[in-house]
Amino acid sequence: MIILKSQVFKTIPKSLEQSCIFLNNTRTDKVVNGTYLELCIKAGCKYLVFMTDDTPYEDMLHIHLLNERLDIIDSATIGSMYSTGAFEIIIFKTRTR
């Protein structure tokens, strides 16, 4: 499992609600809900993408599971009107013995 940097996986807003996916600086024809990429994790051949709407006081967190072709396998949205929150990257380190 690796966290992908923006040079590898990035999004650019297509509308107020959706963004286009770029992989290795190449635009794909794939679109996901959300306008701001918070984090993308690659695990095996799958991508776990965390997007927000960048709307003050009504921010939603969209979580998308994508396959190797960037097709959406599953999605979930967390949030509600007049709610806000903070997304923070937590890095887990494994212990070595």
Positions in the chain short of pLDDT 70:
84-97
The reported pLDDT for the residue numbered 88 is 67
Ramachandran bin of 28, using left for φ above 0, alpha for ψ from -120 to 50, beta for the remaining angles: beta
This prediction's pTM: 0.85
The reported pLDDT for the residue numbered 83 is 72
The percent of residues in the chain predicted with pLDDT above 70, rounded, is 86
Give the C-alpha separation, 55 to 6, whole Å: 21
| Residue 34: Cβ within 10 Å count | 25
Residue found under tokens 């690796």: 2
Q: 44 is written with which tokens?
A: 């095996």
The reported pLDDT for the residue numbered 19 is 97
One-letter amino acid for residue 71 of the chain: D
The reported pLDDT for the residue numbered 30 is 98
